Structure 1
Amino acid sequence: MIRRWFALIPLAGALAGCGVSGPATADDISRLPDPRLDPPSAQAGEQVAVFAGGCFWGVEAVFDHVRGVRQAWSGYAGGSADTATYERVSDGDTGHAESVKVAYDPRQVSYGQLLKVFFSAAHDPTELNRQGPDVGSQYRSVVFYATPQQERVAKAYIAQLTAAHAFDAPIVTQVVPLQDFYAAEAYHQNFAAQHPHNAYIVYNDAPKVAHLKQWLPALYRSATQVVEVQLH
């Protein structure tokens, strides 16, 4: 079991997980196309999206900096309630993936734009059951769709990226229905913002936020929100 908050990560190994290594160059990532299928939300009011792409610290940090995102929580999806704890999920046999729940305003950011953030800055969608230095099925790449429309948009975008040869390796991201999301323990929430000098954050997660600002400046915002653990 990896205790990330205590780990002293060798520089070379840590840097291996900093970027998104699927496309040939970082410049290719910055030019990922907008989703062709990205209709207005069929539902009114605040919407929810759930993504899994490795350690939830970094994925949450990225979405905390996306314009239109009202709140983001680190947590677990894909397994049952009785195993939705960090100790159990870290064993890699619960079915859960470390995930991030994103509450967003569809008037400011679309689901398709969130997918573009997810596939460009938040993680590498070509790594199977791992992200950078973290290995195991709990670090797999998943889009957990909450509505049939989210399913259609996610599958269409993956097909679009595949047809465009946006990545050197095949996209391994799963697209599966969201059953439940379980908030992670309080010390995981907003971890990157609260521990900016943690070695894991410096080498693996801070570059993701920097890439968001560099590659998708129209979607980037500098201020992060202090996340409440209680979901509603």
Structure 2
Amino acid sequence: MSDSVLPRLEICLSPALLHLFDTRDTIVVIIDVFRATSTIAAALHNGAKSVIPVASVPECIEIGKRTENSITAGERDGKIAEGLQHGNSPLEYPSTFVEGKTLVLTTTNGTRLLHMVEDAAEIITGSFLNLSAVCDFLIAQKKNVLLGCAAWKDRFNLEDTLFAGAVATKVADHFATNCDSVRAAKYLHESAVAKGNYIDFLRDSSHYKRLSAYGLEHDMEYCTTPDQHPVVPILKGDKLVIHQ
């Protein structure tokens, strides 16, 4: 199939660049590898009823108060935000804890980007933990795709771009990708694969160093392990649920 009839795939490297992209009739994939979209995949795969992504801590607390059987969770600058019950680690939400509950989640970067997107055909979340499931979903939908990197406070980061490069590489035959951010992300992914594994490639990244200061190395190793939670979280109304 020629590029002229293939759906388009682009990568937005930072929320600050989102206004440059047309998201109409487009599937937008929110990417926050360290750690929001990893936590979302883990919680839903482990039986959470839904995840409600919110932009602010006060909103998270308020929604938690009026939502039955809920958990309020999230972080600011890598630490559990004051007033919330739990943090932003996928390892905090095993099935024994999260099954049947609603996770109300706010994070520094990922949930903020999700609320910035308007007029998309669908919004899903992606991480290495659900890499193949996300790729299979995108191929099946046959629609334009924007991979949206949450970045770090609008600054480019390696881990989200690396995941976007992994997706772009896996779905390359099914999309037209005349976009230099896609090329750059794929080159980055090639470099990581050549190094041996994703986490070794990311150990010198700013976010790895930032979160390591809080003892979260094991979290990050887990977040870069592909296909541990093969679900596609999709936004329905104000809630993320598993795509059926």
| TM-score bracket for the superposition, by shorter chain length | under 0.3
Larger Rg: 2
TM-score scaled to structure 2, two decimals? 0.26
